[in-house]
Amino acid sequence: MALLIALALFVAQAINFGLILRDRIEFRLAQATRPVASRIADALDREAHGGRPLTADRGRVRRLTADPIPPTGYERHPEVAAELRRQLAEQGVTVGRIDTGLRPSPDDDDGWASNDRSRAMDHAMNRRGDRDGAALSIAVEQPGRGWLTITAPWPQPGPRLLIALLSQTAILYIIVLLPVLWILRRLSRPLRDLRTAAERFRPGEPGTPMPAEGPDDVAALIAAFNALRLRVTAMLDEKDRMLGAIGHDLRTPLAALRVRIESVEDDTDRAKMIDTVAEMNRTLDDILSLARLGRPSEPPTDVDLAALVDAVVEDFRDLGCEVSFVEADRLRMRLRPSLMRRAVRNLIENAVKYGVSAEVRVEVGASTVAIVVADHGPGIPEDRMGDVFDAFTRLENSRNRETGGIGLGLSLARAIVREAGGEIRLVNRVDGGLDAIIELPRST
C-alpha cells in the first residue's frame, strides 16, 4: 500500500513537472515574440508616417539589405518564426521569410557579426542580449525592401526548476507519505497479528485472547474473533460430551448383544451375528474417530515412520492378506502414531478389498515423505476421484458388506493426514491399478 501511494505521488509530480515545463516554454515563446511584433509594427508605422527611417546602424529595429543570420552555426527556432508571423498578421504587417538564430558565445562569434554590414547590430546584441543569458536574433523579410532585424532575450533553462520540483517532491513525501506509513503500520500490525492467530487457532488448544488494539473497527474485529474462538471451543466441548454419551449408549447394548449371541445354538447364525456386531463396532469407531479428529487426545511423538508402516502391513499379513512392504531406512517423524496407523490401515484395507493385493513403500523426497499403497485393481474413474473422499460415499453401489464398508475409510484417512499437515492423492497407473499416496512434510 505504501509503495502504491509513493508511486501515485511520483506520477502526480511527474505530471506537474510536465505542465510547468509546458507553461515555461509557452511563456518564453511569448516573451520572445510579443515585444518583437509590437516593436516592428510600431517602427514600420512611424516610418510610414514620416518618422525616422529605419537604418542599419541605429535603433532597436534595423533595416538591412540581406539576411544577416548565417545559414550554419546558429540554432534555429521555427516555433518562434511561426508565432511571430501570426502576431504580425494580427497587426496587419505582411512579411516574407522569417529567420531566427540563437547567437553563439562571443568566442565563437566569427560569422555574420564579423562583416561590416552587421557590426553595429552585433555591438547592440553584445550590450543587451546577455542580460538573461542568451539573445535570439530575428530577421524578418519585407519583400522588395530588405530585412528587418531585432534581438530578443532568450532565457536558457537552468537547474532551478528541477531543484524546485525535487524539493517540492521531498516535502510532499515527508508531509504525506510518512503519516500514511504510520497509519498503515498502526492498521496492519493488529491485522497481521489477527491473521496469525486465526492461522494458528486449533480447537482444544489453550490460547490467550488477543488484545483489542488498533482503530475502532480493527479492535471490534479482534474482539469478535476472541468471542468466536470461545464459542467454537464451547461447541466442540459440547460435541465431545455428546459423542462420548452416544458411544457409551451404543457400546453397552452391543456388548450385551454380543454376550446373548453366544447362547445361539446354530453355529452359522451365531457366526453371522458376531460378524454383524463386530461390523457395527467398527462403524461406530470410524464415526467417533472422524467426529473427534479436530481435537485428538493423542499428543504428537517422534516415531520411526518406516517401522510404523511395516507394523501395519504385518497386521494384514497375519490375517492372510496379500500385502507386501518394500524395506526402507529408518525415518524419524513427529506424528500422532495411532491416528497415522489408522490412516495407513484404511488405505491398505481398501487396496486389499478392491485390488486383491497391495504393495506398500515409503519414498523420501527433498521436502516431503510419501507413503504409497499400490493395488492391482481396476482403478477409479477420473471424474470420481474427488467423490471417494466424501463421507458415506461408495463407488460400489451394492449394500454387500463384503464389497465395501459405509464409505468412511478414505474420509477418515484424509482428515487424519490433513491434520498432520499433509495430503492424500489417488493416481491411476498406466499399466493398471491405483496408487494411494500419503504426502507428509519432512518437518512434521
Is the pLDDT confidence value at 48 over 90?
no
- Tell how strand 434-441 and strand 332-335 pair up: unpaired
Is the pLDDT confidence value at 372 over 90?
yes
**402 vs 242, which has greater pLDDT?**
242
As a whole number, mean pLDDT of residues 406-414 equals 74
Per-residue cell: 91: 497587426
The overall average pLDDT reported for the chain is 79
Least confident of 47-51, 211-215, 388-392: 388-392
> Please, what's the largest Cα pairwise distance for the chain?
151
Whole-angstrom CA distances from 437 to 179, 343, 370, 425 are 53, 11, 6, 5
Say what angle helices 409-419 and 267-292 make with each other, to 10 degrees: 30
Is the pLDDT confidence value at 129 over 70?
no
Give the model confidence (pLDDT) of 210-260 as tens digits.
888 877 888 899 999 888 888 888 887 777 777 777 777 777 788 888 888
Burial of 188 (0-12, 13-18, 19+ CB in 10 A): middle
Is the pLDDT confidence value at 125 over 60?
no
Q: What is the DSSP letter of 174?
A: I
As a whole number, mean pLDDT of residues 152-163 equals 74
As a whole number, mean pLDDT of residues 309-330 equals 90
Residue 250 DSSP SS3:
helix
Using 50, 70 and 90 to split pLDDT, how confident is the model at 128? very low
- Report the pLDDT value the prediction gives residue 122, as an integer from 0 to 100: 45
**32 vs 222, which has greater pLDDT?**
222
Q: How far apart are the C-alpha atoms of 352 and 397, rounded to whole Å?
A: 18
Cα 35-39-42 angle, rounded to 5 deg: 140
- Report the pLDDT value the prediction gives residue 310, as an integer from 0 to 100: 92
- Report the pLDDT value the prediction gives residue 361, as an integer from 0 to 100: 92
Q: Which residues of 69-97 are buried (b: 16+ CB within 10 A; e: fewer)?
A: beeeebeebeebbebbbebbeeeebebee
**254 vs 386, which has greater pLDDT?**
254
Could you tell me which residues come within 8 angstroms of residue 223 by beta carbon, excluding any fewer than 6 positions away? 212
Domains of the chain: 2-153 (no CATH), 299-441 (3.30.565.10)
Could you tell me which residues come within 8 angstroms of residue 317 by beta carbon, excluding any fewer than 6 positions away? 323
Is the pLDDT confidence value at 439 over 90?
yes
- Report the pLDDT value the prediction gives residue 206, as an integer from 0 to 100: 63
Q: Is the dihedral of CA 254, 256, 258, 261 positive or negative?
A: negative
As a whole number, mean pLDDT of residues 88-117 equals 66
